[in-house]
A and B are shown apart, each in its own frame.
Chain A
Amino acid sequence: MQEITSTRNNHLIDPVFNAWGWEIPVYLFLGGMVAGMMIISGYFIYKGRSGEKNCSCHYLPIISLILLTLGMFALFLDLEHKKYFWRLYMTFKIASPMSWGSWILLFVYPALFLNFILGLPEKIRMKYSFLNNVYEKLSFSKSFVKLISFSNITLGVALGIYTGILLSALAARPLWNSPILGILFLVSGLSSAAAFVHLIARDINERELLARADNNFLSIEIIIFILYFIGMLSSTRAHINAADILLTGSYAAVFWVFVMGMGIIIPLIIQSLAVRHKIQHNPAAPIMVIFGGFFLRYVIVFAGQFSSYDVAALLNKF
Chain B
Amino acid sequence: MPRFGMVIDTKKCVGCMDCVVACKTENNVPEGYNRDWIVQAVNGTFPNLNLEIRSERCNHCENPPCVTTCPTGASHINKLGGVVLVEHDWCIGCKACLASCPYDARFIHPEGYADKCTFCIHRVEKGMQPACVSVCPTHCMYFGDLDDPQSEVSKLLNTRKNYTLLPDAGTKPKIFYLT
Check B170 against A98 for contact (C-beta < 8 Å). Answer: no
Interface size class on chain A is 35 or more
Residue of A nearest to B116 (CB): A10
Interface of A is mostly: loop
Contacts of B106 in A (CB 8 A): 13
Cβ 8 A contact of B69, one of A9, A96, A236: A96
Set A2, A96, A97: member contacting B42, Cβ < 8 A: A2
Q: Taking A7-B34, A80-B112, A87-B92 as contacts, is the C-beta distance between A13 and B104 under 8 angstroms? A: yes
B95 touches A19 (CB 8 A): yes
| Total B residues in contact with A, Cβ cutoff 8 Å | 48
**Min C-beta distance of B83 to chain A, whole Å:** 19
Q: A124 contacts the other chain (Cβ, under 8 Å)?
A: no
Residues of B contacting A101 in the complex (Cβ-Cβ under 8 angstroms) = 71
Central interface residue in A6, A99, A238, by most chain B CB within 10 Å: A6
How far does the alpha carbon of A4 sit from the alpha carbon of B15 in the complex, in Å? 13
Determine if B93 and A80 form an interchain contact, defined as CB atoms under 8 angstroms apart. Answer: yes
Q: Is A85 an interface residue (CB 8 A)?
A: yes
B92 A79 Cβ-Cβ under 8 A: yes
B40 within 8 A of A: yes
Cβ distance A69 to chain B, nearest Cβ, rounded Å: 18
Q: Specify which chain A residues have a CB less than 8 angstroms from the CB of B41 in the assembled complex.
A: 2-4, 312
The smallest beta-carbon distance between A100 and chain B, in angstroms, is 8
B80 close to A (CB within 8 Å): no
Contact indicator B40/A171 (Cβ below 8 Å): no
- C-alpha gap A231/B107 in the complex (Å): 31
Give A residues with C-beta under 8 Å from B. Answer: 1-14, 17, 19-20, 78-82, 84-85, 87-88, 90-91, 93, 95-99, 101-102, 169-173, 236, 238, 305, 308-310, 312
Q: List 28 A-B contacts (CB under 8 A).
A: A2-B42, A4-B40, A6-B39, A6-B56, A7-B39, A8-B37, A11-B32, A12-B95, A13-B98, A13-B104, A13-B106, A19-B99, A79-B92, A80-B94, A80-B113, A84-B90, A87-B91, A91-B73, A96-B96, A98-B94, A101-B71, A171-B102, A172-B99, A172-B100, A172-B103, A305-B99, A309-B168, A310-B102
